[in-house]
Amino acid sequence: MGKESRLKKVVVVADWDADGVVSAAEIYYSQKYREAFPHKGRAVVEMEPSGPRGFQDKAGSLSCGDIVVILDIPYTDEVKAGLKTYVDGCRERIESILYFDHHDSTLKRSRELEAEFGILLFYGVMPTSLIVRNTLEAAGIRLTPRLDNFVKGVAVLEGGGKAVGGFVSKSIVNLTASISKTLNRRRDPDVWRRYVEWLANPLPFEPTKLPGSGETIVDASLEESREADEEVKRVATDLAMSSVKLGIVSFVDARGKWKRPGASALASFIHKIVKTPVALLFERDDGVRVLVLRSSAGEAKMLAKELEELGLVEDLGGHENVATARLREDTTLERLTKGLRRASVSIVVKRNRG
């Protein structure tokens, strides 16, 4: 048996977006370059991107690891099924499973995570990459200045423009957003892994090229972002004209008009046009209806919670100003629009009470 096969294996599964890829880079850096977390010493690191949708299929193809780290993936029934498949197949090897996340659905089912799978949950009301950074710092592990800047860039994007993770330049924030758009458009695991490796690299100016092309990561991200923005702007302009005002919310029914990744970006562009919180309804290619809520002052998450309490949506995800939820099967368009009006009134009343 070779020396490499005797090393511990760390399996990292993280979301496709900026928060997921930066979180994965933090774990990759702390393990590969610092040999400190999650395993003290050398280890083989295997990395895979996945969202909650498709997690069950992804889990069935993962190799068994001694330590498993799940990052920025809201805990849903599909994730539960995937974890069960993975744990049942790798039970004899798994030593620990660490779960870093900030989504409400994960917190609400935290006891289930711990009881059924013995998972150690790291939860916080902040981007997952900030939770990871704080955990590493508590263990005496400091990130490189460049990687730390991307953590701050994610915090600005997910905090609605607020520098909740510390000050960072606008150029880093823009590049972070460009990386997220590139990954969502390409949905290529090899490209995602290359971004993780580039972000984690302690050599700050080493040019890294994407697989299958001569483009550097920075150039490819900025060009892809420009193309994505042009496409989304065209659709957003048309959809904004058809929006319906429901209390404080502009409701947009994008079913049949948008099925690709990037619905959050689409909602953000519409939000810039209409200048109010936006509720964007679209239907995925598997028939699931998803509501994306976008705001600038925390209304998105508040609206999502109000709609959940009304029994209209489930599987909440996202952040203060960008939230997502899946419509329940029995939620009709009429019930949804009435619910949005009611949720709007509730938010206004609560704010007036102070």
Q: pLDDT by residue (tens digit) across 184-199?
A: 878 889 989 989 999 9
Q: Which residue has the higher pLDDT, 168 or 87?
A: 87
Helices (H), the chain: 18-28, 55-61, 77-90, 104-108, 110-117, 128-138, 145-158, 170-186, 189-200, 217-241, 263-274, 299-309, 333-353
Band of residue 308 on the pLDDT scale cut at 50, 70, 90: very high
Collapsing DSSP states into helix, strand and coil, what is residue 354?
A: coil
Superfamily of domain 4-203: Response regulator (3.40.50.2300)
pTM for the model: 0.78
Mean pLDDT of 333-341: 95
Band of residue 265 on the pLDDT scale cut at 50, 70, 90: confident
Q: Pairing mode, if any, of strands 278-283 and 289-294?
A: antiparallel
Residue 183: name the closest of 23, 9, 10 by CA.
23
pLDDT at residue 171, as a whole number? 83
Domain 224-353: top CATH class: alpha beta
pLDDT at residue 210, as a whole number? 59
Q: Is the pLDDT reported for residue 32 higher than 70?
A: yes
Q: Which residue has the higher pLDDT, 209 or 241?
A: 241
Query: In what side-by-side order are the strands of the sheet with 8-14?
Result: 43-49, 8-14, 67-71, 96-101, 120-123
pLDDT at residue 2, as a whole number? 47
CA 268 – CA 280 distance, rounded (Å): 10
Q: Is the pLDDT reported for residue 243 higher than 90?
A: yes
Q: Is the pLDDT reported for residue 224 higher than 80?
A: no
Mean pLDDT of 240-250: 94
In sequence order, what are the residues at sequence separation of 6 or more whose Cβ sits closer than 8 angstroms to the Cβ of residue 271? Answer: 277, 278, 294, 295, 296
pLDDT digits (tens, 9 = 90+) for 148-169: 999 999 988 876 545 555 677 8
CA 115 – CA 128 distance, rounded (Å): 22
What is the rounded average pLDDT for all residues in the chain? 88
pLDDT at residue 205, as a whole number? 60
Band of residue 220 on the pLDDT scale cut at 50, 70, 90: low
pLDDT at residue 35, as a whole number? 96
Q: Which range in 168-182, 239-253, 257-271 is most confidently predicted, on average pLDDT?
A: 239-253
Mean pLDDT of 218-223: 69
Mean pLDDT of 177-190: 84
Helices (H), 187-311: 189-200, 217-241, 263-274, 299-309
Percent of the chain with pLDDT over 70: 90
Q: Is the pLDDT reported for residue 310 higher than 60?
A: yes
Would you give the distance in Å from CA 81 to the centre of its chain?
20
CA 182 – CA 21 distance, rounded (Å): 12
Q: Which residue has the higher pLDDT, 126 or 46?
A: 46
DSSP 160-219: TT--TT----HHHHHHHHHHHHHHHHH--HHHHHHHHHHHH-S-TT---BPTTSS-BHHH
pLDDT at residue 28, as a whole number? 98
- Looking at the chain, which residues constitute the CATH 3.10.310.20 domain(s)? 224-353
pLDDT at residue 322, as a whole number? 86
- Looking at the chain, which residues constitute the CATH 3.40.50.2300 domain(s)? 4-203
Q: Pairing mode, if any, of strands 67-71 and 120-123?
A: unpaired
Helix (H) or strand (E) holding 11: strand 8-14
pLDDT at residue 85, as a whole number? 93
CA 109 – CA 148 distance, rounded (Å): 30
pLDDT at residue 213, as a whole number? 60
Band of residue 242 on the pLDDT scale cut at 50, 70, 90: very high
pLDDT at residue 165, as a whole number? 53
pLDDT digits (tens, 9 = 90+) for 200-217: 999 866 666 656 566 676
Question: Which tokens hold the place of 206?
Answer: 């080493």
In sequence order, what are the residues at sequence separation of 6 or more whose Cβ sits closer than 8 angstroms to the Cβ of residue 298? Answer: 160, 320, 321
Q: How many CA atoms lie within 13 A of 247 on its CB side?
A: 19
Question: Which tokens hold the place of 339?
Answer: 């619910």
Residue with tokens 């998972």: 119
Band of residue 3 on the pLDDT scale cut at 50, 70, 90: very low
